[in-house]
Amino acid sequence: KNQVEQSPQSLIILEGKNCTLQCNYTVSPFSNLRWYKQDTGRGPVSLTIMTFSENTKSNGRYTATLDADTKQSSLHITASQLSDSASYICVVSGGGDYKLSFGAGTTVTVRA
Amino acid sequence: DGGITQSPKYLFRKEGQNVTLSCEQNLNHDAMYWYRQDPGQGLRLIYYSQIVNDFQKGDIAEGYSVSREKKESFPLTVTSAQKNPTAFYLCASTPSRWSSQGSNTEAFFGQGTRLTVV
């Protein structure tokens, strides 16, 4: 069964600090991995997309890494801002035609 | 502005009532999807459509129905057969089927509809 596990479930950080979110997956075959940011009560918005051959990709203060051998990805948030408070969802595709496997998300709270 | 629009933002359903959630996109995307989001769980696929007049069941289709009469529209009906409909519903679209797409294909999500049974 294709699964995507995210950790931690939630975290609280102070404004200006860095944090790293983890994503482990068992989806096979693997096509690509996406990180989405979802504000409370809103739809997810894409941050990064990575394929098998890509190890790292950045989008402003967000940097995603991928280790396809160990089937692990991380999302690093640098110099956090209050607006970074949201749920971050890891999404892996490749298990079939329409099959996208979603993680449950990590809820990040940034405090002033 | 191109995008995907869901309405209403909040919806209340009485026991035994059918309700319909709207999803419209002006991105000229072929494929559209409906997901359900519950607290502490990942999104789960309800239905998807790759082309007009065609749609397929996802992982949790029981108690739901859809139609795809126009490329721009993919409404979801939550029927009385759905015993636990309270959830956040998300509609998404992509240019074509996810499996046939390149690595940089963007998937757009609507802003969601929160359905509550009263």
* CA B21/CA B24 separation, integer angstroms: 10
Instruction: Indicate yes or no: CB of A97 within 8 angstroms of CB of B98.
Output: yes
Name the residue among A87, A94, A76 with its Cα closest to residue A19. Answer: A76
Lowest-pLDDT choice from A56-60, B14-18, B95-99:
B95-99
Angle at A28 between CA A25 and CA A31, to 5 degrees: 90
Nearest to B97 among A9, A98, A102 (CB): A98
Q: CA dihedral defined by B84, B87, B92, B97, rounded to 10 degrees?
A: -30
pLDDT of residue B104: 52
pLDDT of residue A95: 58
Instruction: Indicate yes or no: CB of A44 within 8 angstroms of CB of B111.
Output: no
What residues of chain A lie within 8 A of the CB of B92, using their CB? 43
Q: What is the pLDDT of residues B35-77, one digit of tens each?
A: 999 988 888 999 999 899 999 999 899 999 999 999 999 999 9
What residues of chain A lie within 8 A of the CB of B107, using their CB? 34, 46
Q: Say how many C-beta atoms besides its own lie within 10 A of residue B76's C-beta.
A: 23
Nearest to A49 among B43, B97, B104 (CB): B104
Instruction: Indicate yes or no: CB of A49 within 8 angstroms of CB of B99.
Output: no
pLDDT of residue B103: 47
Q: Which of A34, A100, A101, A107 to mutate against chain B (most B CBs within 10 Å)?
A: A100
A40 vs B: CB within 8 A: no
Kindly indicate the confidence band of residue A85, based on its pLDDT and cuts at 50, 70 and 90.
Answer: very high
Task: Calculate mean pLDDT across residues B13-41.
Answer: 92
Q: Say how many C-beta atoms besides its own lie within 10 A of residue B72's C-beta.
A: 18
Mean pLDDT rounded to a whole number for chain A: 91
Q: How far is CA A107 from CA A78, A84, B75, in A?
A: 16, 10, 30
Nearest to B112 among A36, A42, A54 (CB): A42
Task: Calculate mean pLDDT across residues A69-93.
Answer: 95
B21 vs A: CB within 8 A: no
Angle at A45 between CA B39 and CA B104, to 5 degrees: 125
Instruction: State the DSSP code for B100.
Output: G
